[in-house]
Structures are given as structure tokens and as C-alpha cells.
Amino acid sequence: MLTITQALVDQIVAHARKDHPDEACGVVAGPAGSDRPERFIPMLNAAMSPTFYEFDSGDLLKLYREMDDRDEEPVVIYHSHTATEAYPSRTDISYANEPGAHYVLVSTADTDGAGEFQFRSFRIVEGEVTEEEVEIVEAYRAG
């Protein structure tokens, strides 16, 4: 299960809305080993595409060095789908190389009649996709 604050959900959704019709992408880093997303890091979609995303390799290298220096890891890796439901595509699955991360997808398309946005989280390990529950909290519990 992904536990995430409402403030982070709002930032991810705002980024997806801002970059629409292109896919938005980014990372939420947290203390190594904590599984707690804390630091919102919007990234540039180097592909500038409405159908797929790509982190800029230089930006990504810089981010990983920064996280390493801060004893952080990518807890959430997010991106948006602009015309389809919030479910990982074959390309998304092939790019998923962080088995410990939560892969969050936000859809900016109304594909299910349930309104404009879907916010879903998945684990992707060795090509296997498992949807997980998302618990949105106002703040994390201490400890």
C-alpha cells in the first residue's frame, strides 16, 4: 500500500494538469528504507510527448546523486497518461527499474466516466504489475 499526503497528491495532479497535453513525470523522494514519500521533484519530460515520457538522462543522474547525498531513495515515480486510463503501458513496464518504488499514474483523460482524474499506484517488479491501495493522509504519523 502507498501512504501519501494530500499535499503531495495535489502537487502531482497539478503537475499533470500543467503539462497536459504532454505527459508529466517526476519523483517523490523519501528517506532511504522508510517507504515514506516526502520530497516532490517534478522532472522535465524530455520526450515532450502526449504518449510517453522520458526522464532527461542528465537530470536523472543529477537527481540520483542528490538523493544519494541526502540518504534518500525514489519512493514514488509518477507520470501522467493524457488520453488513456491510469495503468502502466508496455513501455512503462519496460522502463520500470526500481523494484522498491511505487509507480503512480495520473490520468488527465476522462476514460471511465468517473471524472477527469484517476490517481493509481502500482508495483512493477520484473515485468509484473500489481495495483496497490492508496491511502491519502493529511500528515504522516510520527515514528
Residue 142 located in a structural domain: no
Number of neighbours of residue 51 by Cβ within 10 angstroms: 14
For residue 9, what is the domain's CATH number? 3.40.140.10
38 part of a folded domain: yes
Q: What range does the domain containing 24 cover?
A: 2-135
Q: CB burial class (10 A; 0-12, 13-18, 19+) of residue 77?
A: buried
What ranges in 1-143 are assigned the alpha helix state H? 6-19, 57-69, 90-95
In the predicted model, is pLDDT for residue 27 greater than 70?
A: yes
> pLDDT averaged over the chain?
93
Q: How confident is the model over 93-111, as pLDDT tens digits?
A: 999 999 999 999 999 886 5
Q: Is residue 57 part of a domain?
A: yes
Would you say residue 141 lies in a domain? Answer: no
Predicted pLDDT at 108: 86
Residues 123 and 105 sit within 8 Å (Cβ to Cβ) = no
pLDDT at position 45 over 90: yes
Q: Give how many domains the chain has, as a whole number.
A: 1
Classify residue 118 as left (phi > 0), alpha (psi -120 to 50) or beta.
beta
Q: How confident is the model at residue 84 (pLDDT cuts 50, 70, 90)?
A: confident
Q: Read off the pLDDT of residues 113-130 as tens digits, 9 standing for 90 and up.
A: 555 568 999 999 999 999
Is residue 47 a part of any domain in this protein? yes
Over 90: is that where the pLDDT of 35 sits? yes
The single-letter DSSP state of residue 115 is -
22 vs 109, more confident: 22
Which residues are CB-contacts of 101 (< 8 A; sequence separation ≥ 6)? 73, 74, 75, 76, 77
